[in-house]
Amino acid sequence: MIDIFLPPIILVIVLVMIHAWFGKGVLQRGVIFTDLAIAQFAALGSAISLGYMHSEYMYILTLGFALLSAFLISVASHRELQLEAFIGILYVLGASGIMMVLADSAEGMEHFKALLATDILFTPLEDILYSTAIYALLALVIWKIYPLTHGFTKDLLFFAMLAITVTSSVQLAGVLVVFVLLVAPILLASMQKYFPVTLFAFAYGWFFSLCSIGVSYWFDLPTGYTIVFIGALLTLLGVMALSKNR
């Protein structure tokens, strides 16, 4: 049984940690749906590889489209426009593009479902370790280089690192899982006053993710969607409990 649970446990521990940091930056910038927009563009690159190139150059296309969306959001964040609306348009552009690309593919809808939320119980350990190495390099950049940047350069570096993270995360866990791990832990953590925000976000994200893995196994449910459902449900209840009346 340890062979079944070890890879997804390692995966959610790593994903929660890296996404909690980016989630904090997203909340501070007030661009909550940035992750979804970048993830959809990453998924569009993956879909183009599957639909037109027989899965060749998948990582390059996925990363390329994610970086393109990150660059557009960075530029838009320094212009006079409704940034959330701009990001929403990017999201629907990517989502509709995926459906158009995969419309004539026999595996299209199955691939689309996998892009939304993957059954992470069966994620190969080698893929997890490879992505963990990428996250470790990003953590080094966050520690050493990111604090030295300012203005547009700082935003561009932040969104570029988020794009690189999302590129790996979408392939490992899916768009919706990435979004709930990015937003839910840090949102609830920011509303409580008793523990350090980042540590609380880690603990809370690990808690509902590991619980979801157990629930999905025992009740034979899709693991990715179970993480999204339980994480979203607990976060909604927690936010309502911690928030005050105006």
pLDDT in tens, 55-87: 788 889 989 999 999 999 999 988 888 888 999
pLDDT in tens, 22-56: 999 988 888 888 888 998 898 889 888 887 887 78
pTM > 0.75: yes or no: yes
Is 98 within a domain? yes
pLDDT confidence of residue 1: 56
Is 101 within a domain? yes
Domain limits at 31?
2-240
Q: CB burial class (10 A; 0-12, 13-18, 19+) of residue 222? A: middle
pLDDT confidence of residue 50: 82
pLDDT in tens, 19-28: 999 999 988 8
pLDDT grade for 122, boundaries at 50, 70 and 90: confident
DSSP secondary structure of 190-205 = HH-SSS-HHHHHHHHH
Mean pLDDT of 125-144: 91
* Distance of alpha carbon 136 from alpha carbon 50, whole angstroms: 28
Residue written as token pair 């590991």: 210
Is 120 within a domain? yes
The CATH number linked to 146 is: 1.10.3470.10
Is 245 within a domain? no
Q: For the chain, how many structural domains are there in total?
A: 1
Is 246 within a domain? no
